[in-house]
A and B are shown apart, each in its own frame.
Chain A
Amino acid sequence: MSIGLLSLIILVLTLVGYVVGKSRAIASVAGDIRKLHSLPPFYGRITALLTAVPAFLLIIGWLLAEPLVLENRALALIDPAEIPQGQSADLVMSDVRRVAAGLDLLETRGEAIAPLIAAPDQLKQAMNAAGIVLQTEPTPSTLAATAALRSAKATSRLAMVVAAIALTLGGLAWGLSRIKPEFRARNATEGFAMWLLIGCSLIAVLTTVGIVASLLVESLHFFRLYPITEFLFSTQWAPKFGGGGTLGIVPLLWGTLYVSAIALLVAVPIGLLSAIYLAEYASRATRSWVKPAIEVLAGIPTIVYGLFALITVGPLLRDYFAQPLGLGNSSSSVLTAGLVMGIMVIPFVSSLSDDIINAVPQSLRDGSLGLGATPSETIRQVVLPAALPGIVGAVLLAASRAIGETMIVVMGAGAAARLSLNPFDAMTTVTVKIVSQLTGDTEFASPETLVAFALGLTLFVLTLCLNILALMIVRKYREQYE
């Protein structure tokens, strides 16, 4: 039974629960609803909630846990001797998964699969015909594991359907049995709803846990295959397709910091000065159209900036600056990416700084102007020092944006890992390498792919620290004047 059909059944039962629950409540007081503790719809609602929610939670949990349990069992069936030299069990498992998916596909097409399982060479042909490419013929233990996986999966799905329907019916029965005039249906409904609300807000925490767990687990995996000191301190980034390359993060970090520094050099002066002008000098009318116009820059997707770097800024810098100056002839360069990223980051600096400058109390300005300072002296000697912590926070947030930015550097900075000072050189960044290592053709369990998780962890920690620092500074500053 498909999950769609199962959900439909549960939903129908839920509707039944609502209608029956409501009418039963009315019937229990012979139509005189004044004798009920709550309004009749609440009796329907609590029954419906009890019917649907536990069953759906069960289905979601089951689907999440099923692959883990089943694959561990199938993995146990694989003969360790059959795992090819230098490869891990994960790779064999991915074969098992692929064969299982292929068999499912063939079965839905109505082909007989029993003879195919008996003859691995025919199986491979049939799979290839169905569009599932197997590199080698499946070995006997792979086939055994596949068969075990498929039968266990079928059993598990059946068990899930039975359990879900049992839970639905049980919830329905329990909900209906509780309906009495003195049952506090409204309080029960609201208590239930409150738990749902709490559950929804926990998703944010779960996301963080998911991010940290997936990054940590795969990074640990990577550090078991590759020494952590090499990763952190080697100044060479030279992955090899077959494995055995050097994977040092230093050149990637250098590229990331170089690009971000150029971006901030562009964005901070422009963003800060325009924020000052908008907050202190501009008329209301100017402000009302300039501020949204600058903020449009923040709403433009990064892929647009990437293309802009690729087809306009890169060639321009190459033809008019790099080549005449003899500094290089690559259209993707640190300067290209930095410049375009700087444009992207301007609104992050300007909006936050604008808010912060506006939050400086007017009395400080009035005092300074009253003593005879010009507006610019007031700004530089009174307003900016008062707003400084907040502005630093804004710049830090912008820096964290720049460090985590992906598309602009993928399209504008290049792919060669290099430790160089020349801004017209193509260099690469942490994010570029995450993309290229995870979208490449290398097998998943090799250090060449897993390094992406270690890079992701580095990126996550780096941006997290910057964000927390920035938030702390901004928050502390706000408290001063409130």
Chain B
Amino acid sequence: MTRASLFAQDKRTRARNATEKRFRAYGLTAIVLALLALLWLLISIFGNGLPAFKQTFLTFPVTLEESVLDKSGTRDPAVMAKATTITYGKVLTKALEAEATAKGIDLSALKKKGLANLISEESPATLRNMVLADPSLIGQTIRFTALAGGRVDGYYKGRVTLETAALDKNTSPEQLAVADKLKEAGVLTISLNSGFVTMPDASDKRPEAAGLGIAIIGSLYMMAVVLVLALPIGVAASVYLEEFAPKNRFTDLIEVNIANLAAVPSIVYGILGLAIFINMVGLPTSAPIVGGLVLTLMTLPRIIIPTRAALKAVPPSIRDAALGIGASRLQTVTHHVLPLAMPGILTGTIIGLAQALGETAPLLLIGMVAFVRDFPGAPPSGLFDPAAALPVQIYNWTTRGDPGFVERASGAIIVLLIFLIAMNAVAIYLRRKFERRW
């Protein structure tokens, strides 16, 4: 019988060591897969969404003739309102034609509406509002920057190609060729799209004009409501449960309740909001106040749980010392325990708010999907005006037909993620800066 050397592994040991290596590799693979999934997600969103921050514009001189836009000559906005956006559209098309001819661009290949289509349907309305707000513009020649039409915009972002344009009744290869020449002539420019975060939503056929203005304001209003309600209520509830509540059936019930509420699907809160706040109390649909209330109820347990952890982390010696020199129990909490727990509480609150900001499903049920074109008023009465919300606006855009909206939706996600990253960064900063180990 030959004895194996201690330095050479026998078959069984080799097998066991191989298993060990394999097992490690599985773990590593799992981590790599999870991280790759995260990377894939981010690349997909940023790749699709970044173009939304660029926009194609046409800048050219427009002569605002009195004979067309203000036939009465009174300069009275009420009378001038008779000139519709169609009239203004014709004015713009004519001006663009003149500019193109002046730059020596041949327009003969264009079809009937080929030139008008270059300009977004939104621009005549913008020009009209500009003129109605300042009638003295009539008779002048101004340099006007118009949004380019959705297809032209898509062409410069790679969404529309010459092949797809040939099949598309809203554009044509000839039109895109003219657009290219306009670009060479400096009439057509691609620049930063600030309107994306300031303008209101636009109708189905004008993805190039759709913006997040109302959605951002609506989301901010809702976050304000959540902060004002959820933070004090959450802290009060946590203080009671952690510092004062006697151990009995009743407080047990509350605790189990909070644990379960944190895990209730968010859509159920939407049903609650619809049944109680809208149908029973009669608050208006699509209003930030209802969204804020629903999100408050949803966020409360998510604030209470970290707040209680923060209170628990304050060592009992602090309480004993305060009580020992004659503070009452409430004074002990308000003067000593709460200030010491504050960083933890704020961190938890910000993370809870960030979750609420990204929540979509409950808001769908309370009617935040409605198409809103008017900015809500200033709070507090503005809280009752219809508004959109960032995540719901994203969902809304994905349900529209024009592919331009997919780009907008991805761009809106980037805006949403920037807000979330900022909030989480503040939370992490607070935690790092003020965290204390006792």
Contacts and interface: CB of A to CB of B under 8 A. Distances in A.
Contact of B16 (A204, A306, A377): A377
Contacts of B364: 435, 439
Interface string B403-433: 0001001100100110010001000000000
Given A194-B330, A301-B416, A311-B406, A434 B272 contact: no
B268 A204 contact: no
On chain A, which size bracket covers the interface? Answer: 35 or more
A190 B261 CA distance: 29
Interface string B1-30: 000000000000000110110011011111
Contacts of B274: 438
Nearest to B233: A200
A352 to B, nearest CB: 12
Contact of B272 (A63, A201, A210, A312): A210
Contact of A201 (B20, B237, B398): B237
Interface string A464-482: 1001100100000000000
Binding site secondary structure of chain A: helix
B35 A290 contact: yes
A215 interface: yes
B173 interface: no
A297 B260 CA distance: 22
Contacts of B398: 306-307, 310, 411
Contacts of B232: 200
Interface in A382-430: 397, 400-401, 403-407, 410-411
A211 B280 contact: no
B102 interface: no
B267 A431 contact: yes
B282 A204 contact: no
Interface stretch (A19-27, A266-274, A363-371): A266-274
Given A374-B16, A374-B20, A205 B254 contact: yes
A271 B266 CA distance: 23
Contacts of B38: 293-294, 296-297, 343
Nearest to B230: A203
B391 A204 contact: no
A67 interface: yes
B281 interface: yes
A376 B417 contact: no
Given A290-B35, A307-B394, A376-B24, A274 B264 contact: no
A310 B27 CA distance: 30
A286 B364 CA distance: 40
B237 A63 contact: no
A194 B244 CA distance: 9
A229 interface: no
Contact of B395 (A190, A411, A453, A456): A411
Contacts of B28: 277
Contact of A303 (B27, B272, B360): B360
A306 B21 CA distance: 37
Contacts of B295: none
20 contacts: A200-B232, A201-B241, A203-B297, A214-B276, A273-B29, A274-B30, A299-B351, A299-B354, A300-B358, A301-B420, A304-B416, A307-B398, A400-B265, A404-B268, A434-B267, A435-B364, A439-B367, A452-B271, A453-B271, A467-B260
Given A64-B281, A203-B233, A215-B268, 20 more contacts: A4-B381, A197-B244, A198-B240, A200-B240, A207-B300, A208-B257, A208-B260, A269-B30, A297-B37, A299-B351, A301-B358, A301-B416, A306-B360, A308-B41, A308-B44, A343-B34, A346-B37, A375-B20, A406-B267, A456-B267
